[in-house]
Structure formats: structure tokens, C-alpha cells
Structure 1
Amino acid sequence: MPDVRGILLPAYVVADESGSMSACYQELTDGLTSLFETLRGEPMIAAKLRLAVLGFSDDVEVRLPLSDVRYEERPPTLSIRGATSYAAAFSDLLGRIPVDVAMLKADGYKVHRPVVFFLSDGQPTDRRDRDWQDPRSRLVDRDHTPAAPNIVAIGAGGADAQTILAVATRPEFGFVAVPGADLGRAISEFFQMLTASLVATGQAMASGNPEIVVRKPDPEHFRLAIDVV
């Protein structure tokens, strides 16, 4: 049996690029830059991760395919465009994640269950709820998708708590912005939470005690979606 090259965690940042995100484009750009600089500054942690960045609106654009960020010269950038199709996002992940995991295994790695960090500032614009709920259900069904990911869902702006809960794979993985929270500040807080979560998860993997660590965002800007009434 060939030697195992290591154990990796595939992590996907799936970010809303719809027109309503235009007011916080700078925060999106700054957040991705900070994420990359932090991971590149922690090469032992970054070595445990493979990161992809996907932007979704009417469709999905790959801003960064699953990559080792230690060898990426510059962070990806998002582009503001179109509507908010959750169906596009989950249909893309449904096809993408199994292929990515198979590729990593073929390269000699063991692979932890992937994690998706899903960010949206509004309701899906898909014509019917089932249009996005069906691919999302197939994505997280471990019988249908053996590499089914954990999904951490963050709703900023006008995102609905029940929708965010329906996206997240656990109630404690769903967060929505506090009413009246500034959208730009909320986006910045999302990236701080994302960065802290990936660093903590990488540290856990490096210590030989692998687990998904989800850092709660600042309660000044976010709360658990289940707490919103």
C-alpha cells in the first residue's frame, strides 16, 4: 500500500455576489485578503487545508479552485453581479465536492469531511424553494454523497433566519446578523470568524485531534439563527 502523504481538510467559501452586496464590495475584498495573509503566515496550519472560493449569483464562478494557499501568489477577488440563486450554489457543490475529494485521494491524501462556509445577504431568488432545497438535501445526504460536507451558514443583511437554518447542517452552524447591524461590518466579522475557525481547525488537525472548530462571530453583529424570533 502506498504511503499516505497527509490528511487534508477541504474548505469552501461560497459567497453571495448578487447586486445587493455591492455596498460591501471593499469588505469582501479586504476579508479575502486578510484570510489569505493569515493562512500564508501560518504555513504549518495552511498545509492541513485546501481552500476553494466560489462566488454565486445567477450561476457559480470559481474564484479559486481547491488549492494550497501557500503557493498562491494573490488572493482571489469576487465580482458583484446578478441575483441570488441558492440552487446554483448547491448544484455546483453537489458536483464539485466529490470530484475534489476523489482528486485528493488519488494524490495520496486522506481527506476529512469537507466544510462549506456559506455567506448570503438575502433570500434566494430561485422560483421555488425546492429548486435549491433538493440539491442541498442531496449534497448533505451521506448515503447519496459520501463526502457530504458540514455547512456553516451566515446570513447578513436581510437574510431570513429560517432559511439560514435550512442551509446549515447543524443549528449551531447557522448565524444571522443582529437587526440593524451594518452590512459592511457584518461582512468583516464573517471573515474574521471564518479565518479564526480555519486556523483553529488547522491547529486541531496538527495536534492529532482533528475536529471542525467553528468560532462564534461577535454577538454585537451576529446571533445564532435559532435564537431569532
Structure 2
Amino acid sequence: MVSEVLPCYVVCDVSFSMTDHIDEVNAGMREFRGVVHADRRATAQIRLCVVVFAERPLVVQPLLPALDPAEPIRPRQESGSDFGSAFTLVHATIERDVKSLKTQRIRVRRPMLFFISDGRATDRGWPQALARLCATSSCPEMIAFGFGAVDQPALDRIGTSRVFLGRDGVRLGLALASSVARTVLRPEHV
């Protein structure tokens, strides 16, 4: 029985503009799972939930052990990137997941949220949705990863813990693994 869990939420922009980056996102997810697989403690503790968004958000993988097989992330033929609705959905998802884990008498570490996008928000209300997420007792540690010509000020605002940029040569899988390394992974696996 697992006594402690680190819930990780990957929130990925899948709008039309992300089409050229989706293969790299899926490769990064596989690389992250490989790193988790190399460390037994991580295998037992890390849970992963995947939320995709464009004009609307969707949970495509509920919170499961990080090694459970997942469907590849696919782009949508939608031009909008509604950050606010993504933050609202992940806020409700984290609250539900943390409550469920605690009901099972599992100790929950502070959740981590990995926000992945290549562009700019198409909704104006996203800062308020982000503020509501961060104002809760289960506020996640926020890490942002940007592909291409990102809105750097927006990513800096979202990634309060860290911001990674693909244009700097950082691989998504390494960014994910290094972010959880401080909490669960042994340094030799990163």
C-alpha cells in the first residue's frame, strides 16, 4: 500500500498552433515515464493526470500511477488557447483528487502542475482563474514549459516555481523529471 503520493498535473495546450510541437510533448512524456521507472520510490509515489485544452479543457488521463500507459496527446483543430478554463478545470480536478487520496488515508505531497503552451491566451480572464487556483490549500507548485514564440510574461506569471523554454534546448521530459527530482527522484536518475 502506498502511504504517500505526489500528484502531478500536466496541462497541455493542444490548439492548432501546437501541432508542430505535439510529437515533442509525447516524447517528453515517454522520457519522463522512463525516468520514473528507473526509481522505485518514484514509481510508487508519483501519480500523473493529463489535461489538454484549446478552446475548452478536457481531462484525458485521470490521476493514475505515472507508469500506467496513456493515450498520446493529440492536437485539436481549434485556434483558441483558453488558459482560464484550463486553470478552472484543473483546480476542480486537484481538489477532488486530493480529497479522494486523503479519504484513502494516503499522505499527499504538494501537487505539481506542469503548464505547456506555445502561444498566448485567447481569454482575458485567465489571471483570475489562476489566482483562484493559487488561493487554495492545495495550490500546486507551478512549472511552465514554453515552445516556440511564447508569451514570456504570461509564462513567468504561471511558472511561479520554474519556467523552461524549448528554444533554450531544454527537453520537456528532462524538465518534468528535474522538477520532481527535488521531491521524489534520486539525483542519479535525472
TM bin, normalised by shorter chain, reads 0.7 to 0.9
- Between 1 and 2, higher relative CO (CA 8 Å, sep ≥ 6) is seen in 2
In structure 2, what is the Cα distance between the partners aligned to 1:25 and 1:5? 32
Aligned to 1:123: 120
Structure 1 position 177, deviation (Å): 4.8
Aligned to 1:196: 178
Q: How many residues matched?
A: 185
CA contact (8 A) 1:60 1:89 kept: yes
Aligned to 1:210: none
Aligned to 1:226: none
Aligned to 1:146: 137
Matched, 1:132 2:131: no
Structure 1 position 36, deviation (Å): 2.1
Aligned to 1:36: 33
**Which AA in structure 2 matches 1:31?**
G
Matched, 1:113 2:148: no
Structure 1 position 161, deviation (Å): 1.5
CA contact (8 A) 1:140 1:149 kept: yes
Correspondence 1:4-153 to 2 at 5 A: 6-70=3-67, 72=68, 74-81=69-76, 82=78, 83-126=80-123, 128=124, 131-141=125-135, 145-153=136-144
In structure 1, stretches of 5+ residues that fail to align are 205-214, 216-229
State the identity as a percent.
28
| Structure 2 CA distance for partners of 1:33 and 1:176, relative to 1, 3 Å | closer
Residue 185 of structure 2 aligns to a residue whose secondary structure is helix
In structure 2, stretches of 5+ residues that fail to align are none
Residue 92 of structure 1 aligns to a residue whose secondary structure is helix
**Which AA in structure 1 matches 2:98?**
V
Deviations 1:41-66 (A, max 9, x none): 43321211111111111111222110
Aligned to 1:163: 154
Matched, 1:174 2:163: yes
Residue 15 of structure 1 aligns to a residue whose secondary structure is strand
Which structure has the bigger radius of gyration? 1
| Structure 2 CA distance for partners of 1:32 and 1:89, relative to 1, 3 Å | same
In structure 2, what is the Cα distance between the partners aligned to 1:33 and 1:174? 20
In structure 1, what is the Cα distance between the partners aligned to 2:114 and 2:66? 17
- TM, length-normalised to structure 1: 0.73
CA contact (8 A) 2:117 2:147 kept: yes
**Which AA in structure 1 matches 2:99?**
A
| Coordinate RMSD, CA, aligned | 2.1
